[in-house]
């Protein structure tokens, strides 16, 4: 499936119900700032994340990137972390009352609350993985097409595995993780179709469930996996500890390697056995969004993909095979050129079907 078809072919039925509502809202003059050709001032942006940014993952990456962009563009950045998945409207209203010009709702779980807020308040928002919600001057969407970079990670795993067993450990099944799991599996299959893929879910929204993450990873290692692709957030540290402990006193060729997602842990305690990481880089998207808001062209779908470097692989660890590096570079070019099309599957059922197709039991 072409990733972009997600935006055009799937009608968001609920959205239609909102149309009269927002027409009414704009008719009543609730959104006076927009639609003019004049340059809109943007001097205060905010980001709301569901968990805390200590997890060196999803939340931290979004916050750090926005703060960096804010410094470059000389814009004030407000950070609200740990907002959870309860109704975040009060937080959004509070940000609005402080004169915030743009709010980044940094979770696919905010896919309905933020658009509703934007229409009621007239304050532009950015949502994640909800292309159906975009609206001129009001709602923009960021699509992290991380399945492409994950495909590369799958290629790396397929080439680097010595046991022929590769594990994918996830702390939940949100769309972001699912896209990456499928991309990884396809990449693995493309270079190593005989490999065994072990797919393990730690729990329901177990993003911080490090104990179970550790346990699950240990069992994957016991089952022979020597490359673990882990999507966890806080739970990632459980996976990393399982690998660190396992690798203690082992020869390099017997060690298990970890492929991380989103952030760069290579400099920390957690980076010792890091093969690579699927990096998310929101800086380009954020810069462009703010630019568009200033120019009056806000309200598009931004796709972070390999081509625009929004997703990419972290430079490989020293222990990776140089041949692997070459192959991955070649595959990357093929993806960017459209010669390889990576599936974009975001739902859990679809994911399972695809995994069964690729690696039947």
Contact stretch for other proteins (CB under 8 A) within 168-176, 180-188, 250-258, 332-340: 168-176
- For residue 249, with 0-12 CB atoms within 10 Å meaning exposed, 13-18 middle and 19 or more buried, which class applies? exposed
Nearer to other proteins, 11 or 322 (CB): 11
Site for other proteins in 175-234 (CB under 8 A): 175, 198-201, 203-205, 208-212, 214-216, 218-224, 234
Report how many residues bind other proteins under the rule CB under 8 A: 84
Which of positions 7-66 make contact with other proteins (CB under 8 A)? 10-14, 17-18, 20-21, 52-56, 60
For the bound state, the minimum distance from the C-beta of residue 187 to other proteins, rounded and expressed in Å, comes to 20
Minimum Å gap between C-beta 58 and other proteins is: 12
Q: Which is nearer to other proteins, 111 or 324 (CB)?
A: 111
> In the complex, what is the shortest distance from the CB of residue 142 to other proteins, in angstroms, rounded to a whole number?
12
Q: Are strands 227-231 and 196-201 parallel, antiparallel or unpaired?
A: unpaired
* Contacts of other proteins in 314-353 (CB under 8 A): 346-349
**Least distance in angstroms from the C-beta of 49 to other proteins:** 12
Q: Which is nearer to other proteins, 190 or 244 (CB)?
A: 244
- Binding to other proteins in span 286-315, by CB under 8 A: none
Question: What whole-number distance in Å separates Cα of residue 347 and Cα of residue 1?
Answer: 13
Give the per-residue contact string, 113-152, with other proteins (x = CB under 8 A; - = no): x--x------------xx-x--------------------
**Least distance to other proteins from the beta carbon of 30, Å?**
12
Residues numbered 225-284 forming contacts with other proteins, rule: CB under 8 A: 234, 237-238, 240-241, 244-245, 248, 268-270
Among 137, 160, 173, 186, binds other proteins (CB under 8 A): 173
Per-residue HEC secondary structure of the chain comes to: CCCCHHHHCCCCHHHHHHHHHHHHHHHCCCCCCCCCCCCCCCCEEEEECCCCHHHCCHHHHHHHHHHHHHHHHCCEEEEECCCCCCCCHHHHHHHHHCCCCEEEECCHHHCCHHHHHHHHHCCCEEEECCHHHCECCCEEEEEECHHHHHHHHHHHHHHHCCCCEEEEEECCCCHHHHHHHHHHHHHHHHHCCCCEEEEEECCCCCCCCHHHHHHHHHHHHHCCCCEEEEECHHHHHHHHHHHHHHHCCCCHHHCCEEEEEECCCCCCHHHCCEEEEEEECCHHHHHHHHHHHHHCCCCCEEEECCCCCCEEECCCCCCCCHHHHHHHHHHHHHHHHCCCCCCCCCCHHHHHHHHHHHCCC
Instruction: Scan residues 94-113 and list those touching other proteins (CB under 8 A).
Output: 94-95, 97, 108-109, 111-113
Min CB(185)–other proteins separation in Å: 13
Q: Which of residues 56-95 bind other proteins (CB under 8 A)?
A: 56, 60, 78, 80-83, 85-87, 89-91, 93-95
Cβ at position 337, least distance to other proteins in Å: 26
């Amino acid at each position: 499936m072409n990733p972009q078809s997600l935006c055009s072919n799937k009608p968001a039925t609920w959205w239609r119900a909102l149309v009269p509502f927002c027409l009414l809202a704009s008719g009543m003059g609730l959104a006076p700032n927009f639609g003019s050709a004049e340059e809109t001032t943007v001097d205060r942006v905010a980001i709301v994340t569901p968990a805390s940014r200590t997890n060196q993952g999803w939340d931290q990456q979004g916050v750090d990137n926005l703060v960096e962009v804010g410094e470059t563009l000389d814009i004030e950045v407000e950070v609200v972390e740990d907002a959870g998945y309860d109704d975040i409207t009060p937080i959004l209203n509070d940000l609005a009352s402080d004169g915030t010009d743009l709010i980044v709702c940094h979770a696919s779980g905010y896919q309905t609350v933020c658009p509703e807020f934007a229409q009621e308040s007239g304050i532009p928002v950015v949502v994640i993985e909800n292309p159906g919600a975009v609206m001129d001057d009001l709602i923009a969407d960021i699509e992290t097409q991380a399945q492409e970079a994950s495909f590369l990670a799958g290629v790396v795993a397929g080439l680097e595995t010595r046991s022929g067993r590769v594990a994918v450990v996830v702390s939940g099944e949100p769309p972001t993780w699912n896209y990456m799991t499928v991309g990884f599996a396809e990449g693995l299959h493309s270079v190593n179709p005989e490999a065994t893929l072990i797919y393990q879910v730690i729990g329901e929204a177990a993003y911080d469930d490090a104990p179970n993450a550790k346990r699950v990873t240990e069992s994957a290692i016991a089952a022979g996996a020597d490359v673990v692709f882990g999507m966890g957030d806080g739970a990632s540290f459980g996976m990393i500890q399982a690998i660190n402990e396992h690798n203690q006193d082992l020869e390099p060729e017997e060690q298990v390697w970890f492929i991380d997602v989103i952030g760069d842990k290579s400099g920390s305690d957690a980076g010792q056995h890091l093969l690579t990481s699927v990096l998310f880089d929101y800086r380009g998207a954020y810069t462009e969004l703010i630019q568009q808001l200033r120019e009056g062209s806000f309200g598009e779908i931004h796709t972070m993909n390999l081509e625009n470097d929004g997703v990419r692989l972290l430079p490989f660890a020293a222990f990776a095979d140089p041949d692997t590096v070459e192959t991955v570079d070649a595959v990357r070019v093929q993806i960017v050129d459209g010669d390889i099309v990576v599936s974009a599957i975001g739902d859990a059922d679809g994911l399972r079907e695809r995994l069964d197709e690729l690696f039947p039991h």
